[in-house]
Structures are given as C-alpha cells and as structure tokens.
A and B are shown apart, each in its own frame.
Chain A
Amino acid sequence: MAVEIKLPTVLRAQADGQATVAVDGATVGEVFNALVARYPGLRGNLLDDSGSLHKFVNVYKDDDDIRYLDGLDTKLADGDVLSILPAVAGGA
C-alpha cells in the first residue's frame, strides 16, 4: 500500500530535504512507523512520548483531518496522500 506523505518545509531537514516521501502502510500509524524508521529525526516531531499524534501537528488524509477519522488507526488505500502540517499559532 504505497502512500504519499507531504512534509512541511520545517521537517524536511530531517528527511534528506525531501518534500514528499512514499512509504507503505495500511494505516496512518503504520505509515508513520515506516517513515520514522527511515528518518528517525522525525519521530519527536510527529509523535509524543506515549506514541500518540503530537498535539502541534495536524495530519490530513486527502481533505480530512485524521483526528476526525480514526487517528493513527485511520485506514489508508493505495495512492492516498497524507499532508503533515505544523500547528501555526501565537498570541498578542
């Protein structure tokens, strides 16, 4: 199951400068595990200490936030695109 992952600019340094990475996996969690196995520097940016999705990261499967699907258990099909977005926030 090949899935395309789009990385934001800030994470590319941890992934040999690539904007897009193709990995295999049947769920978002499997895909993240494969991604982190290839680029260990990404782990802390994607997952927290308990292995859950980091709260400062948003992950979209095509047009849907995976938090409103099944989170890391969200099933993926061949050709799905996962977009990883940093939370962009601040204050006065």
Chain B
Amino acid sequence: MTSEFAQPTLRLTESQYATIIGNCYDGLPNEACGLLVGPLGGNAEPTGAVSEARPCRNVDASAVTYTVDPRDMLGAMRAAEARGDEIIGVWHSHTHTDAYPSPTDVRQAVDPAWLYVIVSLRDQAPVLRAYRIRGEGIAEVAVELDRG
C-alpha cells in the first residue's frame, strides 16, 4: 500500500467519539453502524475532519453483519448536502472480533475514498480503529481525538 492510501488522519471530537462508542454498545447484541459526514478536500477526498457522526439502523439486526438502513443514508446525504459536506465514511461494531476489516467488510466496501471505522467490543474497553479499503487492500489510518 502506498502512504497516500493510508491517509487522511481521521479527526473525531470527543463528543463524536462518545456518540460512536455509545451507538456500538446500544446495538448489542447486534452489530451497530453509522455514517460519518465531513468535508472533502481539493482532491475530492475526505480531509479527515468530521462534522457529524450519525448513528443509523442496522437493517440486518444481526450480530455478524450490518447493512446501513438506506433511509438513514438518505437522511445523512441530505444533512451533509445542507452543510456543504459529504458522507465520508461509515463505522460498525465487531462484537466478538478484532477492530480489523473482515473479508466481508473488504468485499462489500463501496468507496475507496471513505474512512471505514471499526469498533471492537470484544474486550473490556472498546477499541476504535480506522481504515481505507481499496480493492483487496487495507490501510490503517491514524485517529486523532480533538477536545471540542
């Protein structure tokens, strides 16, 4: 993987981080999911800033798969558009496995520019990591927590 692929750094506010982690625990025993809204840079790719973390319904209602409710995605798309932003990524939980993309996650990844956040709830403390997925390639991107 080139270093260009392993960027940008995902920057979450503490409140967005809390929203994501809370959503993942609220979804138990099932996987939870949500969409990240944020700006695109001049290269039409996410800058890594997030303007909103929007919890979505997992229509699969499953402990091993997720599908973002398309109605929630439509809402996220409209909210993004209203603020001049775009959907820039998605998070979901792994209830019993690592915070690393599964073969299913890789196969179903829709947008090589998106940031894919995975929250593992396997251990006592949640583990949040972020990736970009392009073809079969997986690159971890850094996550920064901003106080704000």
Contact = CB atoms under 8 A, between A and B. Distances in A.
Interface of A: 6, 8-10, 12, 17, 56, 58, 60, 63, 65, 83, 85-92
A89 B73 CA distance: 12
B104 A17 contact: no
Contacts of B141: none
A88 B74 contact: no
Interface of B: 31, 33, 35, 40, 44, 60, 63-68, 70-71, 73-74, 77, 81, 86-87, 90, 92, 94-97, 101-102, 104-105, 108-114
Contacts of B105: 90-91
A91 B64 contact: yes
A86 B89 CA distance: 12
B40 A92 contact: no
Contacts of B87: 8-9
Given A58-B70, A60-B70, A83-B74, A88 B104 contact: no
Contact of B110 (A10, A12, A65, A83): A10
Contacts of B65: 89-92
A89 B111 contact: no
A88 B90 contact: yes
Contacts of A63: 74
B74 A60 contact: yes
B113 A9 contact: yes
A86 B86 CA distance: 14
B97 A92 contact: yes
Contacts of A8: 77, 87, 110-111
Contacts of B35: 88
A60 B77 CA distance: 12
A85 B71 CA distance: 10
12 contacts: A6-B81, A8-B77, A8-B110, A9-B113, A9-B114, A85-B74, A85-B77, A87-B108, A88-B73, A90-B108, A91-B65, A92-B65
